[in-house]
Structure 1
């Protein structure tokens, strides 16, 4: 089969943040701590000399810059050396200037409070083994890796697919994620949409860990055993809040035949071009992942013909406090109706943007259609 690599799954990409651009600088700085200590002590000396020379022009806030910069790039033990030097500089400067510079005592108190806060922050970073901006860069990498695993592989010219993921209140991490795989012969496409318990940053770390494991299982296990293997994996993790819901679909890109199974997840929707109607694929129901040992996950079989579409989604798309699930499904399908004539491109993002839960919950949508 000849594949058209120009037709690929589409989704919004997140540009690398500014923190990543200074990672190399942060790494170099953390390898030379005593050099940095000397540099900060020199800055303190220069700031002190400037305040003494121009007391009415140079503000006390110049010490605050040193406090913050040292707190970001130094480990606690080195930070204490710099702050001791800074405290001595404050004492000497305050005693020398006396009442000739306003707000001396107030500035000293505020600076000392800032030093205590930065010592606490430095200690918290040291506990997880990060210094400077490397911790933020690591989180950015983790987020990008989580989203990259949801990228759909290139599809044949007669197939298209999209993924849309939105986290609660715009957080960088979400409890919903997607993993996808295509067989080595290019015939089978497998997609799993998973909703980990919790939302936003609370579920972000669990999503990252679980997505890597399920991404490894996808394509390696048979479609009938994927959910069972995922369930066994969660049971072995023994999380306090270790359950998750999932929907897994395997599509034969030559015949359009597909099988779909659920683990406590909302039913997918299929559009049939022949009848012009949507129907819910309510078969293949199984229990939540990570709850029941040796759980059974049956599969439902269907076919995607030309013009047909399949929509997978998480509960944030249809659930609302003041609405029933039936109302949420009707609302979702009503939004999808407007795409029938023009094609399903952009439907995934539209459903996420206009989800019943609004911004208060994670939302994920996968659309697969045959042209």
Structure 2
């Protein structure tokens, strides 16, 4: 267990703002498996790469608390969002997870993702055109990194792109719930209800008039006897919109900020903008360096030892991706942004059976978006230091003011 003098507060500015990775380094060195006080059962965070991977690989850990013998108390007023999340495949265990993933994976084949390349590029260029027309300064998060991914996932689902602003607001509130240690605000539950109602209406439209989109494909799966319930169709659509938006927004914004703070890496990448391979390698490093998703949780269903600590049935393990991605035991010189780093087996998209089903699409969006941004604005610079959203699970900027 951790030394008594070590303390880790997930809600502190030291963890949530720019000093996060310094705190992670201290925890890896002094308390790599740390038990968070105040929970009704042991909740331990794992800061080393090897320990995080061990939890994610082990069949001793599951995603659903009920499969480890306990139930999670639901905060007053949060039942609507809990019911919605209960249909998400990324929060389910086999066999439900296997069934849902098999259906959703059909929408994220390399061929399907590649078909979106033209739309992503056209949309990115259009957003950059609007930024350039407005002047010499912009909030990159609001004007580019935020709208692009939600427009792409809306296109994939078959939802109207003009509803993108509503999707962004809903997704952010659900992300607030997912990453809250202090209790989520009532707006999170309202967002879940509104988003689910929107998706039900869209489903009914597609039931009457199917199209070549993901919502129609999910409905076809529901009706063909693949045991996809109506609420699972709704939940899956909401999950893809939320996760597909939040992760890619953070990749583009965090990646751009990292490059602006590391001018040598920025110069090196600018010299390779015409190389798709170099851009792909660079995006992997941006994902490692400041991961969009920082941690997850697993429930122990059978006794096992990880990192020298005994986990028993009902205990909770929290692999910290952000810390694992800076572990010097896995990554040489981990605090250096090296846009040519290879190999790079980071955990930004998770690991094991819950590895992000949309990782290929997120990578493509990141490569196109960051490449287009650097080409359009060769003198891009940071106007002011940003702050991060108060969220332990997602590494999300509040804004990113840039000039060119």
Q: What is the TM-score of this pair, normalised by structure 2?
A: 0.22
Structure with the largest fraction of helix: 2
> Which protein has the larger Cα radius of gyration, Structure 1 or Structure 2?
1
Using CA pairs under 8 Å that are at least 6 residues apart, name the structure with larger relative contact order, 1 or 2. Answer: 2
Structure with the largest fraction of strand: 1
